[in-house]
Amino acid sequence: MSQIILKNIIKFFGNKKVLDDVNLVVKEGEMISLLGPSGCGKTTTLNIVAGLLKPDNGDILIGDSSILNIPVEKRGAVIVFQDYLLFPHLNIAQNVEFGLKMAKVDKVKRQNQVKRMLELVQLDGYEKKYPNELSGGQKQRVALARALAIEPKVLLLDEPFSNLDMRLRENMRDFTLQIQRKLKITTILVTHDKEEALMTSDKIAVMLDGKIRQFGTPTELYQRPISPEIADFFGEKNYISGYINDGMFVSDIVSVKTEYNEHLSVKAMIKPEDIELLEPSNDTDIIGIVKSRKYAGDRIYYTVIANDLELKCISEPRKIYDVGDKVEVNIDFNNVVFFPLEKEVIL
């Protein structure tokens, strides 16, 4: 079993608490992302799992056993860093072989494993080259091969793609995911890129200020965030203030039926992609005026003013409206999330 369990992890740097009761369970074979803004404690968490840092409180288990007092090299967890950290004076085969040598694996086994790993990352034929002869993506693949060569129980990826340009980043991301799936290795990916987290992970842990605020599948986090803070982390949203009464959500701009009966003041969260702009017709409920337009090829970002409210919309470019155009604003309330005012709970 190589599930990872973090229990009540607390970490101080000086008198600054950078991890504040972090709890997390990564099931065997899962790929999860730690997602959060710079400085929220992602790398510190990863370093604690790897054994590069000691927590001030709490426990970490790999499988069923605590690894807190187990040295780095015996934990069965390897980290791949953003800047590869390959040994410049060793060739590619020697780089990949390094951990196996340290573990005193015999020579024939080492050579077979290096061959297998270089095939896995599609770099067979590169054995004799040196790191400075490789591109960024190739170096990242060597770093991955080196990490996987020792057959770790747990793979820790610290922003491994962020030094690569956009296309290469996407390729490396897909490639790493394929390998992760093939080897079924329990993996934690640290990233501040929401799309990367959404596209690669079985689950995402959103970290803010040293705490995990929500942990769930990409769809749960995107569709059902527990707070506006989490929602906004996945992109700008619209909020309409109003109240729920007798099964109706009532606001200045719209009143719609809901499945809730509580009497509560709420903010309704509406995603920009859930607002459709149409040509106004006779039975149009909400009329808006286009205030701005940003064309992004496959999408158009609009802001529309309706009943003094500024609404952000993302539309497919089937019909393009101009600034100043009158439009019908069609809100899809099926995906609305209601946040009770001043509380972090969804209904």
In the complex, which residues of this chain contact ligand ATP (CB under 6 A)? 13, 18, 36, 38-44, 192
Task: Give the chain's end-to-end CA distance (angstroms, integer).
Answer: 37
Q: Nearer Cβ to ligand ATP, position 44 or 176?
A: 44
- Whole-number Å distance between alpha carbons of 54 and 11: 8
314 and 272 Cβ atoms separated by less than 8 Å: yes
In terms of CB distance, is 38 or 69 closer to ligand ATP? 38
Query: Angle of helix 92-102 relative to helix 107-120, nearest 10 degrees?
Result: 130
Provide, rounded to whole angstroms, the least separation between the CB of residue 95 and ligand ATP: 25
| Shortest Å, Cβ 82 to ligand ATP | 9
Residue from 140, 136, 188 nearest 165 by CA: 136
Sorted by sequence, the CB contacts under 8 Å of residue 17 that are 6+ apart come out as: 10, 11, 210
- Least Cβ distance, residue 26 to ligand ATP (angstroms): 17
Is 77 in contact with 51 (CB distance < 8 Å)? Answer: yes
Which residue's CB is nearer to ligand ATP, number 15 or number 132?
Answer: 15
The nearer residue to ligand ATP, 40 or 157, going by C-beta atoms, is 40
DSSP-derived secondary structure letter, 76: S
CA distance 57 to 258: 45
Q: Give the integer Cα–Cα distance in Å for 246 and 261.
A: 5
Nearest approach, Cβ of 38 to ligand ATP (angstroms)? 3
> Of 110 and 192, which CB lies nearer to ligand ATP in the complex structure?
192
Q: Which is nearer to ligand ATP, 192 or 203 (CB)?
A: 192
On whether the CB atoms of residues 324 and 289 are closer than 8 A, the answer is yes
287-295 and 326-331 beta bridge pairing: antiparallel
What are the distances in angstroms from CA 323 to CA 271, 281, 294?
Answer: 21, 19, 10
In angstroms, give the least distance from the CB of 163 to ligand ATP: 13
Smallest gap from residue 232 Cβ to ligand ATP (A): 17
CB nearer ligand ATP, residue 120 or residue 206 = 206
Q: Least distance from C-beta 85 to ligand ATP, angstroms?
A: 15
In angstroms, give the least distance from the CB of 40 to ligand ATP: 4
Rg of the chain (C-alpha set): 25
**Helix%, strand%, coil% for the chain, nearest 5:** 30, 35, 35
Cβ proximity to ligand ATP: between 58 and 280 the closer is 58
3-class secondary-structure state, position 305: strand
